[in-house]
Amino acid sequence: MDLVQDIVIVGAGLAGLATALGLHRKGVKSLVLESSPTMRTSGFAFTTWSNAWRVLDALGVGDKVRDHHVLLESFSVMSAASGDISAIMGLSGVQGKMGMHEVRCVRRDFLLETLATELPKDTIKYSSKIVSLEEDGNLTLLHLANGSIIRAKVLIGSDGINSVVAKYLGLKKPSSSGRWATRGFAEYPNGHEFKHEFLQINGAGFRCGFIPCSAKNMFWFFTWMPSQHGEEKVDESINMMREFVIKNLTTSKVPQEMIEVIKRSEMSEVVSSPLNYRFPMSVLFGNITKRNICVIGDALHPMTPDLGQGACSALEDSIILSRYLSDAVHQGKIEVGLEKFAKSRRWRCASVVATAYIVGSLQESSNSFVTFLRDKVLAGTMARALLKVSDYDCGNI
């Protein structure tokens, strides 16, 4: 099989599906290739900040998602060492430069399914793994694992942190932050009594957060830096990882009700994952686009999760690329459109990646001086950084 497609998007994650929907809203057809046999839903949930809600509204799916996720009212930071609240910040009813802030914890599977159902039938082609790429005049040849070849007039790499497209463009492999993460999701069929609050616990060598998605479930995350002694083996079973997280929390000043959340949680088959990021200078000056090819989402700007902006930034990519690329398709100036996209994203993405890395390093540190500085001086500043970075509007499609 040898097909010619106008626009091919590699990867049916958030960035890929949102971009396909943005193009569809502008009357431009695309084909999304997904290597997995079914929709990927790893990660359980993610914090959706104001910048992401503006994108979802522009795509016409905002209210559908809101109806199933509670509005978060506050963000609290607790010291793991003392158990004291070092910062409290309102999230609901807070006015930003771009409008009122809105924060919710959204189930990844729900959002992916919502985006997919808005797309025309047969837009997504599963079990379509790319094994190699090559240039063929003005086209890009995609060689699939099943032996078929697709010729793309435009190729968008939304294929994650180990992106085949990013490698083809010559982008350097993402760097390790030296930190790891695990996540879980707790169901409460009869409802829970937790406040609509994002509680984050910092210090003692880890960073942990608890966030309600709805009245019947809670999402949590735990990030840490493995010690040189290697007592925490990151590739062990779910039960061993759960025990590791609980042990760290019980030896710190973490409320017992939060530990109970972890005890009853479902955890991913991918027990833990390294937190990698793309060096900001690579985002600023690397080949994130070339000819008729570009990258978006984690293929462009993998980042540590400390600002909650990985998925939000991917959604920003989708709306901006949809706008520039749809105009470029109608004008017959694909390369110009992709260059405009790259120019508009470099500084924004590089600054978010850098800020997330710095904030995460400070939040996890168990150093006594850093702990004092973080808990007594910088807690409020770091909390406000979450709202500041999300006070961004990338415009309509």
> Which residues are within 8 A (CB) of 397 and not within 5 positions of it... i.e. 6 or more apart?
22, 25, 26, 58, 59, 319, 322, 323, 326
pLDDT at 35 over 60: yes
Question: 303 by DSSP, 3-state: which?
Answer: coil
Distance CA 204, CA 247 (A): 12
Q: Using the 8-state DSSP alphabet, how is residue 325 labeled?
A: H
Q: Using the 8-state DSSP alphabet, how is residue 32 labeled?
A: E
Q: What would the pLDDT profile of 271-282 be if each residue is shown by its tens digit?
A: 788 999 999 999
DSSP assignment of 351-390: HHHHHHHHHHHHHH---HHHHHHIIIIIHHHHHHHHHHHH
What pLDDT, on the 0 to 100 scale, is given for residue 233?
59
pLDDT at 230 over 90: no
How many other C-beta atoms lie within 10 A of the C-beta of residue 75? 22
Q: Among 141-150, 237-246, 291-300, which stretch is predicted with the lowest mean pLDDT? A: 237-246
Amino acid at position 264, single letter: R
Q: Among 34-38, 327-331, 382-386, which stretch is predicted with the lowest mean pLDDT? A: 382-386
| pLDDT grade for 32, boundaries at 50, 70 and 90 | very high
CB 182 within 8 A of CB 272: yes
Place of tokens 């509204």: 57
What pLDDT, on the 0 to 100 scale, is given for residue 147?
92
What pLDDT, on the 0 to 100 scale, is given for residue 229?
42
CB 253 within 8 A of CB 234: no
Q: What would the pLDDT profile of 155-208 be if each residue is shown by its tens digit?
A: 999 999 999 999 999 999 999 999 999 999 999 999 999 999 999 998 888 999
Q: Mean pLDDT, to the nearest integer, of 116-128? A: 95
Q: Determine the distance from the C-alpha atom of residue 215 to the mean position of all C-alpha atoms in its chain, rounded to a whole number.
A: 23
Q: Which residue has the higher pLDDT, 374 or 318?
A: 318
Calculate what percentage of the chain has a pLDDT beyond 90. 76
CB 240 within 8 A of CB 379: no
| pLDDT grade for 269, boundaries at 50, 70 and 90 | low
Query: What is the CB-side half-sphere exposure of residue 309 using CA atoms within 13 A?
Result: 31
Amino acid at position 282, single letter: S
Q: What would the pLDDT profile of 325-368 be if each residue is shown by its tens digit?
A: 999 998 989 999 999 999 999 999 999 999 999 988 877 766 77
pLDDT at 11 over 60: yes
Nearest to 34 by CA among 55, 59, 52, 16: 16
Q: Which residue has the higher pLDDT, 21 or 232?
A: 21
Q: Which residues pair with 222 in a beta bridge?
A: 182, 208
CB 293 within 8 A of CB 168: yes
CB 335 within 8 A of CB 345: no
Evaluate if pTM is beyond 0.95. Answer: no
Cα distance from N-terminal residue to C-terminal residue, the chain = 34
- Burial zone of 66 (CB within 10 Å; 0-12 exposed, 13-18 middle, 19+ buried): middle
Q: Using the 8-state DSSP alphabet, how is residue 313 labeled?
A: H
CB 325 within 8 A of CB 154: yes
Element at 20 (helix H, strand E): helix 14-25
Q: Using the 8-state DSSP alphabet, how is residue 46 labeled?
A: E
Q: Determine the distance from the C-alpha atom of residue 164 to the mean position of all C-alpha atoms in its chain, rounded to a whole number.
A: 19
* Mean pLDDT over each residue of the chain, to the nearest integer: 91
